[in-house]
Amino acid sequence: MSLLENNSVVYKEVPVGLPTEENLEIVTSKVSSSAPEGGLLIQVLYVSLDPYLRGRMRDPSIKSYTPAFSTNEILYNFGVGRVIDSSAPEFAKGDIVKSSITQFTMYQAVPNEGLKFFNKVENPNRFPLTYYLGVLGMPGLTAYYSFYKIGEPKKGETILISAASGAVGQLVGRLAKHEGLRVVGSVGSDEKVKYLKDELKFDEVWNYKEISPVEAIAKHIPEGIDIYFDNVGGELLAAALVGMNNYGRIIACGQISQYNIPNPEDRYGIKNTMLIVTKRLKVQGFIILDIYDKDAETVTEFEEAVSKLLKDGGFIYKEDVIDGIENTLDGFIALLTGKNFGKVSVKVST
Amino acid sequence: MSLLENNSVVYKEVPVGLPTEENLEIVTSKVSSSAPEGGLLIQVLYVSLDPYLRGRMRDPSIKSYTPAFSTNEILYNFGVGRVIDSSAPEFAKGDIVKSSITQFTMYQAVPNEGLKFFNKVENPNRFPLTYYLGVLGMPGLTAYYSFYKIGEPKKGETILISAASGAVGQLVGRLAKHEGLRVVGSVGSDEKVKYLKDELKFDEVWNYKEISPVEAIAKHIPEGIDIYFDNVGGELLAAALVGMNNYGRIIACGQISQYNIPNPEDRYGIKNTMLIVTKRLKVQGFIILDIYDKDAETVTEFEEAVSKLLKDGGFIYKEDVIDGIENTLDGFIALLTGKNFGKVSVKVST
């Protein structure tokens, strides 16, 4: 047994507003090069960065749908890694594994009782491994489940997608095109506008930094919105209510525009919720973690359907890979402020 | 043929805020004592007063789910009347009829082409005729349809009802008790609190003028809200979001607290819509007028079920009958400001 030098991202304290180096600190330590008894030693390859992690960095006395992170623990999320030592019969050295508790660290020792969170990745289609954190992972299921089950899409309808170039938004857009909807997106840069129109074949896309949501909707969606896929909340949600058609559906997926406003009183106040009544709208929230337990059938259907679309070609998925664990904080801030482009992961090793 | 003196409520101009005598004027005219060719002459008995009428008193250029009233026309709504002269074979003198276009007038001449809006009231159970405007009419169907179809009630759950002594709220409460839910209400006077607790057997009721919604919910619904029946919008809707349990349903029926705020910018801003996501809530609006066409089965089911409950006794329905057409405006203002108590109708004749 020897010792390996290990860098990790440690969660130090609850951020106020955007996280800083005070909140997420790089810590160097040593780890044994052998797997724990009955467990694994994993070289972490990629860890996913997702907006919901900000919600877990909160005062633990505030209840929410995911547990708060504990301070002084290594930050963790969905990730993929390679087994470099195994003392568990189900796994062999060299196996690629994925888990929901992959640490932002170079080497992760997994004790026997942690094995239940790890699954082998077979990858017969030789997709990039990051796909298992994005289009084939939790963000992919988020898009797939909510688009079909809450959105109830019908051919010829119009969908508006906010944060449309993100991990979830871009897949919603592709699925909606696949189903014959008119697809409109809101993004935060001209580069993203061009990409979504040229590569992902969105019908219309605007840069929300250059036009107000009310103007953008009036200009680009004169026929009205049938489904609004809401990743951002705030001003765009209020404007979407104005633009919705009767019997429209709002998929309430997240409100990234509001996550870093420390004082709840400073959040955007929606004054036109009466339109939910007069337009007979359905606004439905969901948490994708529920679905893994509750609706395993849809999870399988999703994996098969999206793998097939990706394999057949013509179905691409934009990713934004942060190189090196030491850049985790900068990558997370970019994600929270819309500066990323595509599904974000941190590459720890190759 | 002679002429009858007729008083009517005429809609003169769009109100700003609460309506006044400038907007709704009593006008005296003459009407023929004979039915028009192929039509009816009706003595109006009762006309319903409902909050949604305020929404129809708007600038006609603003689209909504019901057409705007035209100025200089006699105000109309659901009502019941007695045929005093008939030139239509389907109706005889003495028949009791109901319609959605009953005028706020003493005598209404119905031309042949208007007959399709009139139906005979058989009333085998000898209910008060006002019941056909309330518990057995549109407000009753509003309560019944939305409670069952949107609320998806389950025995043992808790429902919060705002405007709980109103035309819709009180029936929702009785149906919810009937289905074994814990029933909590918010009302605007101590008299209403007492009535709902003592007569309608609500489990808890508070006077919203004496306690803030956040405090009231914390005190009276520590177990959390499973269904919120929203008639008022505004501050109580925001507080209900805080008090909702995971997977809760919000029946978006109306927002009476916001109807008379002329400037949309002055309406209450809901800042915690993120709770729709984290609590996996469904917020669903509806317009009951749709249901008559779309779901005739539920309409029949409603009429039979509620008639049976009323006939078997123990199921009472509180009404507030305004005596005399000249008191229509005062009654409407009382309704819009929560000063009424129970389902409001105007008694025109007996």
Q: How far is A262 from chain B (nearest CA, A)?
A: 13
Domain end position, chosen among B273, B289, B305: B289
Choose the closest CB to A278 out of B65, B246, B280.
B65
Instruction: Take residue B46 and report the two structure tokens written for it.
Output: 């009762």
Same domain membership, residue A177 and residue A58: no
For the stretch A102-122, pLDDT in tens is: 999 999 999 999 999 999 999
Please compute the mean of the pLDDT values over residues A140-155 and round it to a whole number. 98
pLDDT for the residue numbered A53: 94
Summary mean pLDDT of chain A: 95
Same domain membership, residue A185 and residue A63: no
pLDDT for the residue numbered A168: 95
Instruction: Take residue A310 and report the two structure tokens written for it.
Output: 């990706």
pLDDT for the residue numbered B141: 97
pLDDT for the residue numbered A183: 98
Residue A177 lies in a domain: yes
pLDDT of B190 higher than 90: yes
For the stretch B46-76, pLDDT in tens is: 999 998 899 899 999 988 878 999 999 999 9
Please compute the mean of the pLDDT values over residues B159-165 and round it to a whole number. 96
- Beta-carbon contacts of B56 under 8 Å, excluding residues fewer than 6 positions away, are B64, B66, B67, B68, B69
Confidence of residue B259 (pLDDT cuts 50, 70, 90): confident
Choose the closest CB to B252 out of A233, A276, A290.
A276
Choose the closest CB to B282 out of A55, A271, A282.
A282
Residue A315 lies in a domain: no
- Residue from A259, A277, A282 to probe the interface with B (highest B Cβ count within 10 Å): A277
Residue B286: closest C-alpha in chain A: A280
**Which of A165-169, B2-6, B202-206 is most confident?**
B202-206
Cβ-based contacts of B63 with chain A (< 8 Å):
none
pLDDT for the residue numbered A259: 79
Same domain membership, residue A173 and residue A87: no
Residue B275: closest C-alpha in chain A: A285
pLDDT for the residue numbered B65: 78
Q: Is A273 within 8 Å of B255 when comparing Cβ atoms?
A: yes
Residue A235 lies in a domain: yes
Residue type, B195: Y
pLDDT of A66 higher than 90: no
For the stretch A280-317, pLDDT in tens is: 999 999 999 899 889 999 999 999 999 999 998 778 89
Q: Is A268 within 8 Å of B268 when comparing Cβ atoms?
A: no
pLDDT of A350 higher than 90: no
Same domain membership, residue A151 and residue A284: yes
For the stretch A87-107, pLDDT in tens is: 999 999 999 999 999 999 999
Same domain membership, residue B167 and residue B63: no
pLDDT for the residue numbered A25: 96
Residue A331 lies in a domain: yes
Confidence of residue A264 (pLDDT cuts 50, 70, 90): confident
Tell me the residue range of the domain where A70 lies: 3-133+320-347
What CATH number is given to the structural domain containing B265? 3.40.50.720
pLDDT for the residue numbered A51: 87
Q: Are residues B47 and B35 in contact, defined by beta-carbon separation less than 8 angstroms?
A: no
pLDDT for the residue numbered A314: 74
Same domain membership, residue B265 and residue B147: yes
Summary mean pLDDT of chain B: 95
- Residue from A241, A257, A271 to probe the interface with B (highest B Cβ count within 10 Å): A271
pLDDT of B106 higher than 80: yes
pLDDT for the residue numbered B62: 87
pLDDT of A64 higher than 90: no
Same domain membership, residue A158 and residue A39: no
Cβ-based contacts of A65 with chain B (< 8 Å):
246, 278-280
Q: Is B280 within 8 Å of A290 when comparing Cβ atoms?
A: yes
Same domain membership, residue A81 and residue A35: yes
Q: How far is A323 from chain B (nearest CA, A)?
A: 31
pLDDT for the residue numbered B313: 74
Residue B304 lies in a domain: no
Same domain membership, residue B282 and residue B165: yes
Residue B102 CA to its chain's centroid (Å): 15
Cβ-based contacts of A260 with chain B (< 8 Å):
none
Residue type, B219: K
Residue type, A189: S
pLDDT for the residue numbered B203: 98
Report helix angle A138-145 to A296-311, nearest 10: 100
Confidence of residue A62 (pLDDT cuts 50, 70, 90): confident
Please give the tally of structural domains in chain B.
Answer: 2
Here the ipTM equals 0.89
Please compute the mean of the pLDDT values over residues B29-33 and round it to a whole number. 95
Residue B302 lies in a domain: no
Same domain membership, residue B100 and residue B16: yes
Q: How far is A66 from chain B (nearest CA, A)?
A: 9
For the stretch B198-215, pLDDT in tens is: 999 999 999 999 999 999
Domain end position, chosen among B268, B289, B310: B289
> Could you tell me which of B152, B147, B343 has the C-alpha nearest to residue B252?
B147
- Residue from A162, A244, A283 to probe the interface with B (highest B Cβ count within 10 Å): A283
Residue B118 lies in a domain: yes
Residue A189 lies in a domain: yes
pLDDT for the residue numbered B189: 94
pLDDT for the residue numbered A269: 95
Integer angstrom CA distances of residue B296 from A277, B20, B179, B289: 21, 38, 23, 11
Same domain membership, residue B102 and residue B227: no
What CATH number is given to the structural domain containing A97? 3.90.180.10
Q: Are residues A134 and A319 in contact, defined by beta-carbon separation less than 8 angstroms?
A: yes
Same domain membership, residue A157 and residue A110: no
Cβ-based contacts of B286 with chain A (< 8 Å):
277, 280
pLDDT for the residue numbered A107: 97
Cβ-based contacts of B287 with chain A (< 8 Å):
277-278, 280
